[in-house]
Amino acid sequence: MAVAKLFRSFPGVGSSDSARYGSVAVITAADANRRLEVLDDFEHAGIGWLWATDADYRLIYISENAAEKLSRPIEELLAQPLTALFETDSSTSGERSDRSLNFQLTARNKIIDQTVRFALNSEQDEGRHTWWSISGHPKFDKSGHFQGYRGSAKDITVEYERKLVDSRLAEFDSLTGLANRHRMDKKLESILSAYKSAKRSCTLIMLDLDRFKHVNDTLGHPAGDDLLCQVARRLERVVGARGEIGRLGGDEFQIILPDLDDRGKLGELANKIIQIVSQPYTIEDKRATIGTSVGIAIAPYDGIDKLDLIHNADLALYAAKNGGRGQFRFYSADLKDEAEERRLLEEGLRDALANELLELHYQPVVRTEDNMVVTFEALMRWEHPERGTIGPDVFVPIAEESDLINQIGAWALNKACQDAMKWPKSVRVAVNVSAAQFAHSDLIEIVTHALESSGLEPNRLELELTESVFMGDGETIDDIFRALKELGVRLALDDFGTGYSSLSYLRSAPFDKIKVDRTFVDSCTQKDQNSAKIIAAIIGLSDALGMETTVEGVEAFDQLEVVKSKGARFIQGWIYSKALPQEMVLHRLKCGDLSIEPDGPERHRPERRSVFRRIGVIHDDHRYDALMRNLSKTGALIDGLLGVPEGTGLVLDLGGGQLVVCTVTRAQDAMIAVEFETPLVSDGAGGLCTRHRVSPYILAAANVPGVPQTKPQFIQVAAVSGHSVMDFQD
């Protein structure tokens, strides 16, 4: 019998039996044969098997039935390292393959019911696995030299597969296959706990779907489920192996990205998620289009425990939704209570509409061949009595989520048509129509009333629409387009190139004009950008379809030359004029001035935002307090330091761990201009931030700003007047 070779290796067999028989130290041959018979019966019964290794952990014995169960000849298994045959299963443990078994063997620990998976599955067995529970103990000779392992095993495949199914149901979403809230919570808590001691970062992204309820309501819940599954697959393609994606329930998703805190890369990822998720879906032979908003919080900067990080990512998501949807936001400490802020703005907007506090200003669209004005675009303005100017990017989303959008939209159409009646008949008026207003059943009636009550000819009214109007039922959308064209109004596709930009829109919708978004113009003069080529391609496409093209956002002469060289015949931008109130428009027209000569800077430079922000300026080991007057991606204007030579290297402390290395490029009195070593990136809210932040752990260790200081080299003074700032900038 093969098992006899190992007879004396197993517990209870051999000379150690003397203890059981008191002074009797000899086992009879009958006893020995009986024990061998029991071991053979144990093996043949299928209850379990026996195995043994040498001192190098190579298999020297395994039960024949075990080899048959594994569909391998014994000769193929013997002399193999035990860790090459069996690996610790990672399906539920999440451990690196074979680490636990390897550790136990190397440490020569006693192994008790260790779950392992057979690692030599053949091609025909692919997808089928065998799991064993193994036990064993190290064997030493009388001199204490290690001889190998002796042990037993049993097949637990059926029980273990059931455990895997139960585990998956407990940790994964049954609809999408993504991790569920329970698993994501555990994973986030585990990562943050481990990373806190290692002082590593972890990003949490929260997102939900915009207009998902509309799909559920119009196409049904099965269609909604199909849509959620398609969204899950798109998120997996975008995120890849960088992190784990979970569905928390409904249309809420979460993404965990370990060791990623570069806000430039995170902003790019967020924009890509928004773009990919917002592309149209095919569901039951129908087209559905949704969007998404994204909130981002990063540990340890925005929280070091799970609840704080989730709360702050939720705040950022709420800010993104209230900022206009289809956007991302990073968490920042100055995020207000968005719900209360939204409520106050909605109340103020109702008052503004009731008390006629909203205004329309008009920006001209100019024909390049003779600089003649052909259209004025109506742009809404709201001057709040306490908050000052509030931009349409803030209040329009609030109006869309309430019942105000149709009232405001109707007011704007009526007002614009009435104002346009005071202009020459050669000049059209363009009015923006939001997606919510477009989908409303009263739109055709509102447009008809605006035309009839003002007496404006329909072909002088141009409705500007964005791609978001295509979200919803295709037949209804086609009916609205058909009714608008029957009225005789013109249609323009606004912001072309920034969203999905499907050519099917241009094929199916009767547009008269395409408007090239200003984001392409902003970078069209940069050599390493393709923006100029994209502008040329859009103009060529528009010409081929018999449509006009207007290029938006032209501010400088170098931009003007580029877009004109690419075939632009209609331009809208500050180089011709900002938006003007009706009184100024009428004044210019009264003078017979329908021609506008371009006027602006020779070269476009990155936009500088006027700010009024207290910051720290660090030079050598001294910190100064100063005032930031304006800010762009590549530089800033700092007020409050005297005696700073050009070429001086500084570090700006923008707060929240944001340190910016920069060089002084100009200095005049207490005002200095600096250029950043690394450009800032978008914070998703129209502002700028650093790519990276200094960890709060490092700041605490360095005790910034309380470092020992030498005698300061510069003089800190009070900020100068606003007039001096303007003179310096000019």
Task: Tell me the average pLDDT across 537-566.
Answer: 91
Confidence of residue 566 (pLDDT cuts 50, 70, 90): very high
Dihedral, CA of residue 689, residue 695, residue 698 and residue 701, to nearest 10: 100
Confidence of residue 96 (pLDDT cuts 50, 70, 90): very low
Q: Which range among 152-166, 195-209, 396-410 has the greatest average pLDDT?
A: 195-209
Is the model more confident about 543 or about 211?
543
pLDDT tens column, 685-728: 778 899 999 877 776 665 545 444 567 888 888 765 443 443 45
- CATH homologous superfamily for the domain 353-591: EAL domain (3.20.20.450)
pLDDT tens column, 448-485: 999 999 999 999 999 999 877 776 666 778 888 899 99
pLDDT tens column, 265-286: 999 999 999 999 988 888 877 8
Q: Count Cβ neighbours within 10 Å for each residue of 671-697 and write b for 16 or more, e otherwise.
A: bbbbebeebbbbbbbeebbbbbbbbee
| Contact between 281 and 230 (Cβ < 8 Å) | yes
Dihedral, CA of residue 405, residue 408, residue 410 and residue 414, to nearest 10: -160
- Give the pLDDT confidence score for residue 295 in this predicted structure: 95
- Give the pLDDT confidence score for residue 100 in this predicted structure: 72
Q: Is the pLDDT of residue 11 over 60?
A: no
Q: How far is CA 254 from each of CA 203, 516, 697, rounded to the nearest angstrom? A: 11, 34, 26
pLDDT tens column, 185-234: 999 999 999 988 888 999 999 999 988 887 887 788 899 999 999 999 99
Q: How many angstroms separate the CA atoms of 602 and 524, rounded?
A: 14
Q: How many angstroms separate the CA atoms of 119 and 636, rounded?
A: 61
- Give the pLDDT confidence score for residue 506 in this predicted structure: 72
Q: How many angstroms separate the CA atoms of 92 and 518, rounded?
A: 50
Is the model more confident about 390 or about 492?
492
For 591, the token pair is: 């003078």
- The answer to whether domain 609-716 has CATH 2.40.10 is yes
- Give the pLDDT confidence score for residue 231 in this predicted structure: 96
Q: What is the CATH number of domain 32-163?
A: 3.30.450.20
| Contact between 187 and 195 (Cβ < 8 Å) | no
| Equal fold, 353-591 vs 609-716 | no
Q: What is the largest CA-CA distance in the chain?
A: 129
Residue ranges per domain, the chain?
32-163, 171-331, 353-591, 609-716
Short-list 672, 674, 673, 671, CA closest to 720: 671
All residues at 6 or more sequence positions from 322 whose CB lies less than 8 Å from its CB, including other chains: 338, 341, 342, 397, 398
Q: Is the pLDDT of residue 4 over 50?
A: no
pLDDT tens column, 631-660: 988 999 999 999 999 999 999 999 888 999
Q: How many angstroms separate the CA atoms of 61 and 188, rounded?
A: 44
Of the candidate CATH numbers 3.40.50.12170, 3.30.70.270, 1.10.1040.10, 3.40.50.2300, the domain formed by 171-331 belongs to 3.30.70.270
Q: Which range among 280-284, 458-462, 498-502, 587-591 has the greatest average pLDDT?
A: 458-462
Task: Tell me the average pLDDT across 5-33.
Answer: 50
Half-sphere exposure of 246 (CA within 13 A, CB side): 22
How many Cβ atoms are within 10 Å of 194's Cβ, its own excluded? 12
Q: Is the pLDDT of residue 499 over 80?
A: no
Indicate the burial class of 117 (C-beta count within 10 angstroms; 0-12, 13-18, 19 or more).
buried
Q: How many angstroms separate the CA atoms of 594 and 585, rounded?
A: 10
- Give the pLDDT confidence score for residue 140 in this predicted structure: 94
Short-list 664, 284, 661, CA closest to 474: 284
How many Cβ atoms are within 10 Å of 591's Cβ, its own excluded? 8
Residue type, 477: I
pLDDT tens column, 359-388: 999 999 999 999 999 999 999 998 888 777
Q: How many angstroms separate the CA atoms of 73 and 131, rounded?
A: 18
How many Cβ atoms are within 10 Å of 274's Cβ, its own excluded? 22
Is the model more confident about 437 or about 226?
226
Per DSSP, the residues of 195-259 read HHHHT--EEEEEEEEETHHHHHHHH-HHHHHHHHHHHHHHHHHHHGGGSEEEEEETTEEEEEEET
Short-list 556, 555, 557, 524, CA closest to 539: 524
- Rounded to two decimals, the pTM is 0.59
Short-list 505, 491, 434, CA closest to 463: 491
Residue type, 118: F
